Amino acid sequence: MGLAMLTLLRVLFGFAVACLVAGVATVAFVVSPVELASLPAEVQPERLTNAGILALLAATHSALFAFPFALILIGIAELTRVRSLLYYVLAATTIALGGLLAIFLYEVPGQPSILNDYAVAAYATVGIVSGFTYWLFAGRGAGGRRAGSKPAAPAEPGATDGETPAAQPT
């Protein structure tokens, strides 16, 4: 498999995982984990299933909104070999807060607004955790191998997984 294909797979996998994490984080602001844990045992499976479905729907929504923006920002990072955690967290948080702004701009005048401290905290948190997740799964390897880096040296004969060979008597 070519290097470009591996890069594409890494980026798509990282984006998908980041969107799933964004969906879970979004749902955690609606249905708190403490609330789920305090439910009676007979109700928990149904509520957990509903929360899981809601998380998948939120992840899909996050992916559809974020994709064009993430494509640009990830493309820049790959071309310039940006591997900074701060870059990915700020990029994802900007995209998430941009989503909040988009909702706010299309509100009906006179109706309650989504723009409040809780919503800002929720969207910012979703951006932070999804940016961290993308960096963890894909961003750390942006741009492939560094120009001056050497490939890992082959193991010496007699060495086992990660161990150095035993000293030979002289």
The predicted structure's pLDDT at residue 91:
97
* pLDDT confidence of residue 87: 96
- Per-residue pLDDT at 20: 97
The per-residue pLDDT for 131 is 97
35 lies in some domain: yes
C-beta of residue 143 within 8 angstroms of C-beta of residue 86: no
**CA 76, CA 74: separation in Å to the nearest integer?**
5
Residues of the chain with pLDDT under 70: 1, 145-170
Q: Is residue 61 part of a domain?
A: yes
Furthest CA-CA distance within the chain: 88
| 70, part of any domain | yes
Closest of 164, 154, 133, 146 to residue 19, by C-alpha: 133
CB 77 within 8 A of CB 138: no
d(CA 100, CA 134): 20
Residues 33 and 96: their CA atoms lie apart, in Å, by 22
In the chain, how many domains are there? 1
Supply 138's token pair.
Answer: 């894909």
- What residues make up the domain containing 81? 3-141
Structure tokens at 118: 């809780």
pLDDT score of 4:
86
Q: What is the pLDDT of residue 122?
A: 96
pLDDT tens figures, 43-82: 889 999 999 999 999 999 999 999 999 999 999 999 999 9
Structural tokens at position 167: 């000293």
Q: Is 166 among the domain residues? A: no
Q: What is the pLDDT, as a whole number, of residue 41? A: 87
Q: Is residue 126 part of a domain?
A: yes
What pLDDT shows up at residue 163? Answer: 54
Helix (H) or strand (E) holding 82: none
Q: How far apart are CA 140 and CA 163, in angstroms?
A: 26
pLDDT recorded at residue 36: 85
The whole-number pLDDT of residue 57 equals 97
Report pTM: 0.80
160 domain residue, yes or no: no
Specify if 157 maps to a domain: no
